[in-house]
Amino acid sequence: MIKYLTVTLIAIILGTPVHAYEEITVADGGTLTGAVTLEGNVPKPKGYNLTTLPDPFYCGRISDGQGWRILQPFQVGPIGEFREVVVYLEGVDKGKPFDDRGLPQIEAKDCLFDPFTTVVRDDQTVTVVNMDPVMHDIQAYETSHLGPRVLFNVPLPMNPQHPHNYKDRSDAALYHRHMAGAPMKQLVNLSKGRRIFVMQCGFHAYMESWGLAATNPYFAKTDEQGRFTMTDVPPGTYKLVVWHPYIRSSVEQTVTIDSKATTEIRIAVPAPTGRLYANEVLDHAYVRYNVTEEAQKEIEPIVEKQDH
């Protein structure tokens, strides 16, 4: 049986005095449901030149056809449905138990980390699996307004049953099989006042995944329709927080939960403006398309052709 790379995340809660969450039976809990939309123009994605990074032919199977790999951190539907966004309640000191039936899992698959956002809790493990026939190198950082701090940097090798030697470049691009790689274990300690961490691949810069440490089980991720649901919420008034790693401003709303009732809300998140990252996809041809025609021909987006 193949074991998985496990990363233990020990998060220290934000705020001044730290109160442990108390698990109780919630007999009169209510339900919170809602939808999150992004208002405004969807920010431009990130762009990475495949000819300057390892494994361009395998990883280039998903690309724009001109030698670039695109990473869009904002998953937004046709009418503004904001997907892959974390929504959580603050101020809940006691309530239902955490659901430990399934631990969070992140997969390195087709040179992407999936999912892009993950929620973990204190003293919980998250599983990271390399499904690709190429090596990955995991670099993890904790981050906050105080600045980043390196947590660890370890290799995430590929499964030895993947082929190592290809006859030519086209073989490397056409090979498409996913198998879990070798296990690794790494302990992560988040500093006081920090709840956010990011994981990137040291070989493939377009592989990126963000995590949030939850202090109670009242959290959810928005689905394809931008919707979320939380159940068994103790009656009371709480702060609802919407989190996405590239939304720089605080998005909060006060909600009141009544006993055995359903509260429905809608949250509109203003789209950030300006340049969000150094490697933003640019429209200027001289800057954007500096990959030679010969290199473009060798990198074929045979799995998915990405839009800018």
CATH number at residue 110: 2.60.40.420
Is 209 within the bounds of a domain? Answer: yes
Say how many Å lie between the first and final Cα of the chain, rounded: 41
Domain presence at residue 45: no
83 within some domain? no
Tens-digit pLDDT profile for residues 145-181: 667 777 777 888 888 888 777 665 566 666 777 888 8
Q: What is the pTM of this model?
A: 0.85
Residue ranges for the chain with pLDDT beneath 50: 1-17, 285-289
pLDDT at 16: 36
Q: Decide if 12 is inside a domain.
A: no
- Residue range(s) defining the domain that contains residue 107: 99-160+180-215
Give the chain's domain count. Answer: 1
Query: What is residue 56's three-state secondary structure?
Result: helix
3-state secondary structure 174-235: HCCCCCCCCCCEEEEECCCCCCEEEEEECCCCCCEEEEEEECCCCEEECCCCCEEEEEEECC
Residue 152's pLDDT is what? 77
Residue 108 located in a structural domain: yes
120 located within any domain: yes
pLDDT at res. 144: 65
Whether residue 62 is contained in a domain is answered as: no
The pLDDT value recorded for residue 284 is: 53
Q: So what's the pLDDT on residue 216? A: 92
Question: Is there a domain that residue 25 lies in?
Answer: no
